[in-house]
Amino acid sequence: MNKIVTRTVLIVSLVSMFADIASEMLYPVMPVYLESIGFSVLLIGILEGVAEAVAGLSKGYFGKLSDTKGVRLPFIRWGYFFGAVSKPMMAIISVPLWIFGARTIDRVGKGLRTGARDALLSEEATPQTKARVFGFHRGMDTLGAVIGPFIALVYLHFSPGAYKPLFYIAFIPGIMAVLLIYLLKEKKREVPIISQSSFSFFAFFAYWKKASPVYRQLVTGLLLFALFNSSDYFLLLKIKQAGWSDTYVIGIYIFYNLVYASFAYPMGLLADKLGLKRIFIAGLLLFAIVYGGMAFNTDLYVFFLLFFLYGLYAAATEGISKAWITNICAKEDTATAIGTFTAFQSICTMIASSLAGLLWFTYGAVWLFLVSAVVTIMAALYILLRMKSAKAI
């Protein structure tokens, strides 16, 4: 593991962990806080929709720009800095326009760092170790998603309803993530000479046209799944509507992240040994089982079982999908390839949550979860049948 987890991989993973502590500390309280300062459910939905759109488009743009300039660290550093400063901004002023601005800064930060960070991780691995490197990173990142909500749970136990101080507390791990980045060193890269005048915010769309058929086939399958992989808010809402308290809801969410963090590296190891496609498809099938179970379940212990499987699904897909993409794209296009995929993925996620809300509102929660499960099985079959070449596996 020491040879696989290099100094750079370890530092980048710690950066992600501290940043996720900051973000996930606020995740359980964000909807309640926004309602407390006058946001309606509709306005919260619009806020998150705009945020996802900004994040999605900026991921593609900044991923392309990172490859164009041949540098990673400035994008990573500013990306995490924007994320850190956006946290206290949310609490300083509670005017809706200001909140929209703070949330947009946070999402631009996400867009700035994603492609460059994943490209940096890819450069530290070989095709035979990619899944483990990305798995280790996802595991450390998700450990932050265990620690953050736990801090929030303890804090709210002693200070119920006092949300604003939590936003200031979240700045501490956020800025620690930024400071850790200064321990990294940039490797020199050859930069292709391209016309800067032709570079635009949507330039990453051109990559889709020039990308290999294998890349387009894989990303098509991933985006089909993303269109019906809605926000985890709906899973947590199902538990709440089954009659369980906020403590159980947050507890199950922490449990899920703990499972995810624990199995991310082992799943990466399995993927490197058995093939990325096999483990990824197994993860999609786990997702289908979880959503099928969520459609009808109300029992607390079954919810814990389903979220255990949901943690396994996340461990088998999140990091592995990025490892897979970086294996099938040209090295000089790594950040662009990741940025293009995550840009489209963010847009699909925004659509997925809108569709999920519509299905739940119109037909009920059962139909939302069943439709998602069925489409996921279709996506798994598509990837299984289309990705047959040695390079695709």
Please, are residues 49 and 98 in contact by the beta-carbon 8 Å criterion? no
Contacts of 170 (CB under 8 A, 6+ apart): 21, 22, 23, 25, 26, 87, 88, 148
Please provide residue 70's backbone torsions phi and psi, each rounded to the nearest 5 degrees: 70, 25
Q: What is the pLDDT of residues 276-295, one digit of tens each?
A: 999 999 999 999 999 999 99
With respect to residue 245, please indicate whether it lies within any of the assigned structural domains: yes
With respect to residue 196, please indicate whether it lies within any of the assigned structural domains: no
| CATH code of the domain containing 136 | 1.20.1250.20
Q: What is the pLDDT of residues 290-333, one digit of tens each?
A: 999 999 998 999 999 999 999 999 999 988 988 899 888 877 78
Q: Say how many domains are in the chain.
A: 1
Q: What is the pLDDT of residues 77-133, one digit of tens each?
A: 999 999 999 999 988 888 878 888 888 898 889 889 988 898 899 888 888 888 889
Burial grade of 155 (CB within 10 A; 0-12, 13-18, 19 or more)? middle
More confident residue, 387 or 22: 22
With respect to residue 32, please indicate whether it lies within any of the assigned structural domains: yes
Domain that holds residue 119: 7-182+206-386
What is the secondary structure of 324-350 as a DSSP string?
HHHHHS-GGGHHHHHHHHHHHHHHHHH
Q: Which pair of structure tokens corresponds to residue 215?
A: 């890349």
With respect to residue 1, please indicate whether it lies within any of the assigned structural domains: no
pTM given for the model: 0.80
At residue 15, the pLDDT reads 96
Mean pLDDT over 343-350 rounds to 81
With respect to residue 244, please indicate whether it lies within any of the assigned structural domains: yes
With respect to residue 220, please indicate whether it lies within any of the assigned structural domains: yes
Q: What is the pLDDT of residues 104-120, one digit of tens each?
A: 898 889 889 988 898 89
